Structure 1
């Protein structure tokens, strides 16, 4: 149970400021305290004075398409947190044309406004023309009044987020509306500081875009280097439908039709037609298996590690509970260049089941749930980064999904996954592809550091102004 801080008790006049609202959220979230602190600063302005608009798209008819040529990438409320935009669904261009307010532009701040409210993201330059759900608020800065990166840093700070959260209303499903945010107090400082914070955020956004493009180049390079350029832009849904087929050469491992999908078997045949090695062979001496189950013992951040689950593992900045590493087995951590594949879930098109990520750099400090399949190469000539260039592809995703086993919650068949053929490029090509992936992850780590620096500068400025 959360109680009020004895050094900052809930005051009677706060109730009148909140229209005699009697639920605990605004009083115990730190929102009112943050508002009072900001309003006491010498130069604070309302949010609506420095923005051209604060809005959401409203309800609309969604028409989904599979062909990118006829669609527009679409963010759901959680997709704005994604690190890699390669897996976004597409809404029809005709639907986007009928509702142009769906489209977003770079340098806007995006805030989730329905369900889990108050998650804040910065629209980087490669999202121009993307569409975004009505469950996301758009905060459009007036760039003649405020720099977008500075405004974004404030809204995602420990001063901005509580005030956003305190505006939420609703019982089961929480919401916020544009008019709830118009009077948020935004502190202003000298131009040098605000420019510095903005530049850090912009540099971070460019590095995140470089992370995305680097991974895409690595996957494209992979398939070109192994002589399979036709698999770069593989379209699963364009292949012939599987209305009925006959299988004769099956063994005791499975009799499930999905495991013998003709589309998946054609992928296997293409991969096996070039020089290749089976995944199980590559992982001999490494690991190809799930993590261990263990009891979670909660801990504070100072004494714990952040436990990353399947959904949060694909976010730019993952959220996860903090647990005691001392009370958990060592297998909760993953060595550098471990590939983690979301291996438990359902077969929905937009679910993370069978999507892959790679542990690199700062992410070695995180702990990971047993729901990830760990892929660790046991061969020094086949790096984890090289394998990741393959496993992040549409081809690998569809192949892994064809190996599903289980009831409601699917898993990846332990025997079938060992047989996946991994095309082998020349040694020099493998090294180049691996380095492209590693550089992308270094860009991502640097982007995190720049965002943290911007936040630290703002926090120090606010706390210094109070003194």
Structure 2
């Protein structure tokens, strides 16, 4: 339970400033303390005076009936409050294009440089930056859009402030509601934005912009690696494979069945057709590739809480595994944690527990390498670690992140309410093998992508550190 600090007690005039709110959140969560501290800066400007565009530049949108399609020609990528945190935006739901471009919803199209703030739900207040490759995306009504006026403020600098601990405190302090949290545009229009000289703000902006460019390159290189994979194994028709355009699995007959699985889904014709295609080219079974590595779930263990400053490690679960950065995770003590919670370099992590919904993470894959090796990982991930020197984890990721691999994994289910991946069926999955030189090239592209992702994090940290130091120095 949070209580007010004796060094910074809640004052009676704060109630008027907060619209006579009687819930404790804005008074003890630090937002009022931050606001009072920023008042000591030589210069601040209210957020609304620095934005432009629809509704003054701070807006969300109306509730509307969503019609999702799968054909890219007639749909647009649609970003929700969870999706805005994801690093690899492949597989986003697609909103019907005619609805998106209508007069009612056309203004929900994103523009590079916008700041997105989740404004509804348990985690209202998260922030994200619209990257250059997100310019043709639409966003949901549950996301606040903050469009900076380029004549008054740099977009990267404004985002850096809103992302900083000062901006987070102010945004979180604007949240209303109990069971379902909300932020409305007028709740944040008066947030005080610190202003410094043009050179300093431009430096912060350039760091954020370079960070956004690197994250866009990360996305592009991963997509390129997957395309290169299928072309290199002579299966170019699987590059843009559309599962929903294939005939549905209705009334099919299975002649070869065993006690390994009696579930009809595991024998579906669409998935079996994909498997036959993969088997038609030189390949190796996943179980053979991972025989000297690992192909298993993580250990179930007791969590012992710790602190980052005392050697604790962030525990990454399925919810955070695909985010740009794993936020809000639990910090645990490595001394009381089994070794299997930490994974070797270039381990492919597959979402392995849950329900295989269209927008869910079940069956989706990511790679643990670089800065993410320091984290611990929950038992919900299926660890795919190559034990074959000629087949790297980076090469495997180029396949596992594809629609083909996703659909195959989702045809290998076991369990009841909570689904898991059938260990013997997934071990039998065929992995096409390109020529050694092609494998090296594909793996190099994936490694380059993840290197850029790590570099982007470093630049973002640098921008936040510079801004934080400047604010703290200015307020004394």
TM bracket, shorter-chain basis: over 0.9
* Residue correspondence of structure 1 range 54-69 to structure 2 within 5 A: 54-69=58-73
Deviation digits for residues 389-441 of structure 1, max 9, x if unmatched?
00000000000000011111100001100100000111100000000000000
Residue of structure 2 in register with 1:82 after alignment: 86
2:395 matched to 1:421? no
Deviation digits for residues 357-393 of structure 1, max 9, x if unmatched?
0001000001000000000001111100000100000
* Residue correspondence of structure 1 range 134-213 to structure 2 within 5 A: 134-213=141-220
Deviation at 1:12, TM superposition (A): 2.7
* Residue correspondence of structure 1 range 112-123 to structure 2 within 5 A: 112-115=118-121, 116-123=123-130
Residue in structure 2 matching 1:271, options 252, 271, 278: 278
The answer as to whether partners of 2:356 and 2:363 remain within 8 angstroms in 1 is no
Q: Note the aligned Cα RMSD (angstroms).
A: 0.9
> How far, CA to CA, are the matches of 2:442 and 2:136 in structure 1?
30
Residue of structure 2 in register with 1:234 after alignment: 241
Deviation at 1:4, TM superposition (A): 2.2
Deviation at 1:296, TM superposition (A): 0.7
Deviation at 1:166, TM superposition (A): 1.2
TM-score of the superposed pair, with normalisation by structure 1 = 0.99
> How far, CA to CA, are the matches of 1:299 and 1:87 in structure 2?
35
Structure 2 residues without counterparts, runs of 5 or longer: none
Deviation digits for residues 190-245 of structure 1, max 9, x if unmatched?
11110000000000000000000000010011111111000000110000111111
* Residue correspondence of structure 1 range 18-417 to structure 2 within 5 A: 18-52=18-52, 53-98=57-102, 99-115=105-121, 116-303=123-310, 304-319=312-327, 320-417=329-426
Report the number of matched residues: 467
> How far, CA to CA, are the matches of 2:414 and 2:299 in structure 1?
19
SS of match in other structure, 1:388: helix
SS of match in other structure, 2:284: strand
Structure 1 residues without counterparts, runs of 5 or longer: none
Deviation digits for residues 285-306 of structure 1, max 9, x if unmatched?
1000000000111112212100
Deviation at 1:23, TM superposition (A): 1.1
2:469 matched to 1:463? no
The answer as to whether partners of 1:337 and 1:384 remain within 8 angstroms in 2 is yes
Deviation at 1:257, TM superposition (A): 0.3
Deviation digits for residues 87-125 of structure 1, max 9, x if unmatched?
101001011022202211110000000012110000011
2:447 matched to 1:443? no
Deviation digits for residues 52-76 of structure 1, max 9, x if unmatched?
1100121122111011111000001
> How far, CA to CA, are the matches of 1:295 and 1:277 in structure 2?
37
The answer as to whether partners of 1:61 and 1:95 remain within 8 angstroms in 2 is no
Deviation at 1:39, TM superposition (A): 1.5
